[in-house]
Amino acid sequence: KPECQITRERINGVDYLVCSAVANPKECNFTWSLKSGNDSIDQQGELRDGKSYLLLDTSVTNYRTYVCVANNSIDFSNPCERGVP
């Protein structure tokens, strides 16, 4: 099943969380969520080069844990997490 990881990248002065996956077959979809139940994100990531780029909302000042799940035609990955202060 896929294995995902989240990295943080700054592109043209904008912060993104980037979820990538090692999978076979490697074509994956990505689903983003927040770990805290009372917080939700409205947007989904933008798929580029087989990775999902989630625009970080810099107006949010509280600590959040973002969760990404990758799935291909066979299975879902275990969720991967990254905290953003």
CATH classification of the domain holding 38:
2.60.40.10
pTM: 0.91
Instruction: Please compute the mean of the pLDDT values over residues 53-81 and round it to a whole number.
Output: 93
How far, in Å, CA of 3 to CA of 79, rounded?
9
**How many angstroms from the chain centroid is the CA of residue 61?**
19
Q: What is the DSSP letter of 48?
A: E
In the predicted structure, residue 72 carries a pLDDT above the cut 80: yes
**According to the model, what pLDDT value does residue 32 have?**
96
Q: What is the DSSP letter of 56?
A: -
**According to the model, what pLDDT value does residue 40 have?**
78
Question: Domain of 36?
Answer: 3-84
Phi and psi of 38, rounded to 5°? -95, 5
What does each C-alpha distance from 23 to 15, 27, 34, 40, 71 come to in angstroms?
Answer: 26, 8, 23, 27, 9
What's the structural domain count of the chain?
Answer: 1
- pLDDT, tens digit, for every residue of 6-61? 999 999 999 999 999 999 999 999 999 999 877 778 888 999 999 999 999 878 77
